Structure 1
């Protein structure tokens, strides 16, 4: 595993936090049904090409879950700020938003409904692979997305049906940008985005159907997803559409796991200028995404059975993940992301270490943040080392 030096000033901030968290887990089972807890995480970024060598606070998360025979619910809220990459803010909490917040009812063991801010059922669930950093599916608004509405889930033998009807994307949180949500969603561009658009997404309808089956030695799942929504432009006061669909496969054979997905996103906005881009936002930033393109994801992982170091280390996994966004517009360069990583637990700490590689990727290697997922950025591969250490309670 590659190692990199930590800046002394960041280490001084980080180590007291970790020492404090080394006490017994603090999750509080308030009742037999209600549990509250959270996590505190640190992040490490190393990119010598950009002279980045950072370590410090990443996230504070607070959560609550409720489970009874009939009623269920969950909520989680995240706090960021002050430390890299939010060093432009003054305090922790200057960037903050809800990840999810919903209540639900279970009709029986196989049927339930969730109402509120819940995860949109599209493609591989809950993520498009094993990576902590997530895939390009996340930054084009299809992976790990929550919206406000109702979702129905039914398990019927080997078949799983999920269908959602959402009035709008996640509620805005706190930040310095129009992209003040956990999920990457259609939003009005900030002033710094060249040729940015001002759309809002409404009336989101999505369905996902998957079947479990045995294919030789592989315990498998195959599925299809479809999403459609209304794109309302704030400048032209006209409405277009956003359509997306995907096929996915998940296979497991002992310690080996394979995840594959192919899909297409096709948006027809009614912008006052070019209709080739739609502005998206999240995590306190906004950027342009090509209106039309194909998304491909492949993930291979190996999970080591048992524990190590006298039972201190468990859940060790190594993985490789590749994602590609091929844009349909002439002259728009494809975006690619390739991640090699490992994740494991050391008692109550969850650790992920990943080597990130990106081409025309807004988040990796300093390519154009605002235009990489549209026309493109540096159009050559960039890389950096990333690690995240979380204490969950």
Structure 2
């Protein structure tokens, strides 16, 4: 710019030197030179300010522009470019929550001599850690559990949320079948859970969406959650390979469709149907059989009442080697296994009432009676039943279940069997489960 000014001055001076230079013309040239130098200084000042502003502007989440050059500068310097800066895009901050729970049990079992003799027992139920969150449209959810006798994953999946709020989930997630999320109100659950037909988690892909009152699920599961059918340290009940029973569940398809009447009102009633079909691979025969299950349910929440009704029909048709029992299949979880009827019907009738809390430090009191029954196809087999009456009490981060459980021919209750055999006798368990959640 200085060189240009000198050239302009030289040109002007040269032109004037060729003729008579008047005193007022010389003064005009000097004034013009001073003007150009002043404009140059102004330009350098604006450029210096712009360089100082750049780091601050790049930290801003929104687009910003530098100040416009003055009209004075634009007129004096032809061809000058407008100065503008814009912030770099900033990624959305992750919305991740890390939580968990610590739960303890106080138990009395009338079918166990040591429990009777000690007038009850107590111990750790579970310590668990949860991670849930969202970054842009990417979802994540995981939970790992620590019991006194085993450690295992509960679930873990990644998902994508579309613009219409529908979701695609990949990983270990809850199988969409029957009443969701739970077909019971109590801490011990009911018959469907111990068959692997409620609160079951497997490895696969699931799509879910809601269209007004309609909710739909479609899913495919390649195998059970651990991909290790001989491992009994698991949360969900699945087919397991123990003894002569060497079956495992593979290539399972699930579909669930429900309609909610009175959606958004104080009385919502969900009516739905579910179906699942899978192959059953037998490691001993190296052949595949199949399995199917279907369910219809009603889940009504009117005022303070909740009524759950569900009917299930299921059947297994494995290809066992010669000598293996074909009327039953073996399931396992929580470090143990047992046989269940190969074909059966299931009925669920649950009723709960949410009381208004009489105390300021109690947030919730829900009392319930949950009943479920397994009707076995095998002639002469004794049905399996369980009835739980109790209350769930919430107070801040504390949540307590107080349950009185009656069970007839149920797994985990004496010599009860969910296949053939067992005993037609009611067993009792008093269970207090206290949990701290964060």
Give the TM interval when normalised to the shorter protein. Answer: 0.7 to 0.9
TM-score by length of 2: 0.74
- In structure 2, the CA distance between the partners of 1:173 and 1:198, relative to structure 1 (3 Å rule), is closer
Deviation per CA, 1:148-182, whole angstroms, max 9, x where unpaired?
Answer: 010000101111000110101111689xx732211
TM-score scaled by length of structure 1: 0.82
2:404 is the counterpart of 1:355? yes
Q: Could you list the runs of 5+ residues in structure 1 that have no partner in the other structure?
A: 1-30, 87-94
* Counterpart-to-counterpart distance in 1, 2:382 and 2:231: 26
For residues 100 and 386 of structure 1, what CA distance do their matches in structure 2 show?
26
Q: 1:233 to 1:173 in 2, by over 3 A?
A: closer
2:268 matched to 1:223?
no
Which residue among 254, 260, 264 is the counterpart of 2:309? 260
How many angstroms apart in 2 are the aligned matches of 1:276 and 1:160? 36
Distance 2:136 2:350 in 1: 36
* Alignment match, 1:123: 178
Deviation for aligned residue 1:346: 2.3
Task: Provide Cα deviations, 1:112-138, integer angstroms capped at 9, x if missing partner.
Answer: 100000000000001112122111101
Are residues 172 and 56 of structure 1, via their aligned partners in 2, closer, same or farther at CA, if it must alter by over 3 Å? farther
- Partner of residue 184, structure 1: 237
Structure 2, unpaired ranges of 5+: 1-92
Aligned residues: 338
**Structure with the larger strand share:** 1
Q: Aligned runs of 1:311-326 on 2, under 5 Å? A: 311-326=360-375
Does 1:345 pair with 2:394?
A: yes
1:37 aligned residue: 99
Q: In the alignment, is residue 283 of structure 1 matched against residue 331 of structure 2?
A: no
Q: Secondary structure at the match of 1:181?
A: coil
The CA distance in 1 between the partners of 2:111 and 2:333, in whole Å, is 26
Q: 1:335·1:376 contact (CA, 8 Å) conserved in 2?
A: no
Secondary structure of the residue aligned to 1:121 is coil
The 3-state SS of whatever aligns with 1:108 is: coil
Query: Is the CA contact 1:97–1:172 (under 8 Å) kept in the aligned structure 2?
Result: no
Q: Tell me the alpha carbon deviations over residues 5-59 of structure 1, each in whole angstroms, 9 at most, x when there is no partner.
A: xxxxxxxxxxxxxxxxxxxxxxxxxx65011121111011102442311112111
Aligned partner of 1:22 in structure 2 is none
1:63 aligns with 2:108: no
Please state how far the C-alpha of 1:69 moved relative to its aligned partner: 4.2
Aligned pairs (5 A) from 1:1-393: 33-51=95-113, 52=115, 53-81=120-148, 86=149, 95-171=150-226, 178-189=231-242, 191=243, 196-214=244-262, 218-272=267-321, 273-305=324-356, 307-309=357-359, 311-364=360-413, 366-368=414-416, 372-393=417-438
The structure whose RCO (Cα within 8 Å, separation 6+) is larger is: 1
Which SS does the other structure have where 2:373 is aligned?
Answer: strand
Say whether the 8 Å CA contact 2:110–2:427 is kept in structure 1.
Answer: no
Deviations 1:254-291 (A, max 9, x none): 10110000011111011122211111011111111111
Moved more, 243-252 or 31-40: 31-40
User: Aligned equivalents of 2:94 and 2:398: distance in 1?
Assistant: 25
CA displacement at 1:109 relative to structure 2: 4.1
C-alpha offsets along residues 299-337 of structure 1, whole Å, 9 cap, x if unaligned? 0000013x443x221121000011001111122211001
Q: Secondary structure at the match of 1:248?
A: strand
Distance 1:336 1:62 in 2: 33
Counterparts of 1:205 and 1:32, CA distance in 2? 33
Residues of 2 paired with 1:72 and 1:308: CA distance? 39
Contact 2:404 2:429 in 1 (8 A): yes
Alpha-carbon shift at residue 231 of structure 1 (Å): 0.3
Over the aligned positions, Cα root-mean-square deviation in angstroms equals: 1.9
Residues 308 and 314 of structure 1 are in contact (CA less than 8 Å); yes or no, is this contact kept in structure 2? no
Structure 2 distance, partners of 1:127, 1:253, is: 18
> Contact 2:273–2:295 at 8 Å: present in 1 too?
yes
The structure with the largest helix share of the pair is 2
How many Å separate the matches in 2 of 1:281 and 1:54?
24
Q: Which structure has the larger Rg?
A: 2
Deviation at 1:74, TM superposition (A): 0.5
